[in-house]
Amino acid sequence: MGKMAFLFPGQGAQYVGMGKEFYTRYSKVREVFQQAQKVLGYDLATLCFEGPKTQLDQTEYTQPALLTVSIAIVEILKEIGLKPDVTAGLSLGEYSAIVCSGVMDFTTAVALVQKRGKYMQEAVPKGVGGMAAILGLEASKVKALCKQVSSQGWVAPANFNCPGQVVVGGEIAGIQVFCEAAKEAGAKRAIPLAVSAPFHTAMLQPAADQLQKEFESISMGKIKIPYVTNVTGEYVEDSHSIKRLLTQQVMSPVLWEKSIQRMIEDGVNCFVEVGAGKVLSGFVKKIDDSVSVVSIQDPSSLEKALEVIGGRIC
């Protein structure tokens, strides 16, 4: 039958209304939201279901919101009897993967990602850094272009999402120059992203330093379900290395394409995107269209997913 992986979305997947239908139908989902609310000190359910969008889109609110929605859905899947063989998450989604794998409890993760969002926001002053998605250009060309334009503004790869899609981050001046250079080099599109900082680049060092301090007081459990990290695109062998990897993660490129390929090599042939949006499902299909991919973000998509993967319920 092959293995099944749960994938968890990162920032950018959020939308007003996410999780609402599940919240109405399942007491377990309401419990997860209540746990998060106690930790955060504000009404997360109202923010997720009614907005305002401007607040939901602020990193320190986005991160706990996405984590909570994903873990609430995991609880539903547990009740159904659906358990992954492997987990992974894109950027923030890696924290959902870690909770799912048993390494960190949910309430600890919620408190941590709220701080992570704040630290990432504060690491670079507004207007100094930015990011852009480069479509239709090979990763090797993107890397070479980053070096070429560096004299006019520092830029580096930030996300290797799938073939033909690399996100870069860096100084605003460098991003503008890079986008023009990328188009000249044959990129189909170069799209500046609406983010406040160059996430997953060396400019996020201050956030990494603050996260490292936070991890000093956090204890990690054993890895019960294997998970693949963004930092290396490989399985994490032991829980002792997780703090170091999560600290590095905010200032290191996200090796998403490599992570998916690694899981496929390991026998994963079914990917389940758990949480808001369908972005990761799209990436997986571009990496390997022979695998099965479903996304679960509301009751109707859960129903459709179970038609595909229902035979895996134990």
Strand partners, 22: none
Q: Where residue 314 falls among pLDDT bands split at 50, 70, 90?
A: low
Model confidence at 261: pLDDT above 70 = yes
Model confidence at 249: pLDDT above 90 = yes
> What pLDDT digit, counting tens, does each position of 171-222 carry?
999 999 999 999 999 999 999 997 878 999 999 999 999 999 999 999 999 9
Model confidence at 70: pLDDT above 80 = yes
Compute the distance between CA of residue 105 and CA of residue 116 in angstroms, rounded to an integer: 16
- Note whether 117 and 53 are same-domain residues: yes
- Note whether 51 and 87 are same-domain residues: yes
Mean pLDDT confidence for 239-255: 96
Task: For residue 169, count other CB atoms closer than 10 A to its CB.
Answer: 30
- Note whether 22 and 89 are same-domain residues: yes
Mean pLDDT confidence for 160-165: 97
- Note whether 17 and 77 are same-domain residues: yes
Q: How far is CA 81 from the centre of its chain?
A: 24
Task: For residue 151, count other CB atoms closer than 10 A to its CB.
Answer: 9
Total-model pTM: 0.96
- Note whether 91 and 178 are same-domain residues: no
The helix/strand/coil state of 82 is coil
Compute the distance between CA of residue 114 and CA of residue 111 in angstroms, rounded to an integer: 5
Decide which of 161, 195, 229 is a domain's last residue.
195
Which residue range(s) make up the domain with 173? 129-195
Mean pLDDT score across all residues of the chain: 96
Q: Where residue 311 falls among pLDDT bands split at 50, 70, 90?
A: confident
Q: Where residue 75 falls among pLDDT bands split at 50, 70, 90?
A: very high
| Per-residue confidence (pLDDT) for residue 194, from 0 to 100 | 79
> What pLDDT digit, counting tens, does each position of 9-42 carry?
999 899 999 999 999 999 999 999 999 999 999 9
Q: Which residues belong to the active site?
A: 91, 200
253's CB contacts (< 8 A; 6+ apart) are: 156, 157, 158, 159, 160, 200, 201
- Note whether 250 and 308 are same-domain residues: yes
Q: Where residue 166 falls among pLDDT bands split at 50, 70, 90?
A: very high
- Note whether 25 and 108 are same-domain residues: yes
Mean pLDDT confidence for 81-97: 97
Task: For residue 184, count other CB atoms closer than 10 A to its CB.
Answer: 10
- Note whether 23 and 72 are same-domain residues: yes
Q: Where residue 297 falls among pLDDT bands split at 50, 70, 90?
A: very high
Decide: 20 and 65 in contact? Cβ < 8 Å.
Answer: no
- Note whether 51 and 145 are same-domain residues: no
Compute the distance between CA of residue 134 and CA of residue 192 in angstroms, rounded to an integer: 9
| Per-residue confidence (pLDDT) for residue 144, from 0 to 100 | 96
Phi/psi of residue 29, nearest 5 degrees: -65, -40
- Note whether 21 and 102 are same-domain residues: yes
**Among 148, 137, 95, CA closest to 117:** 95
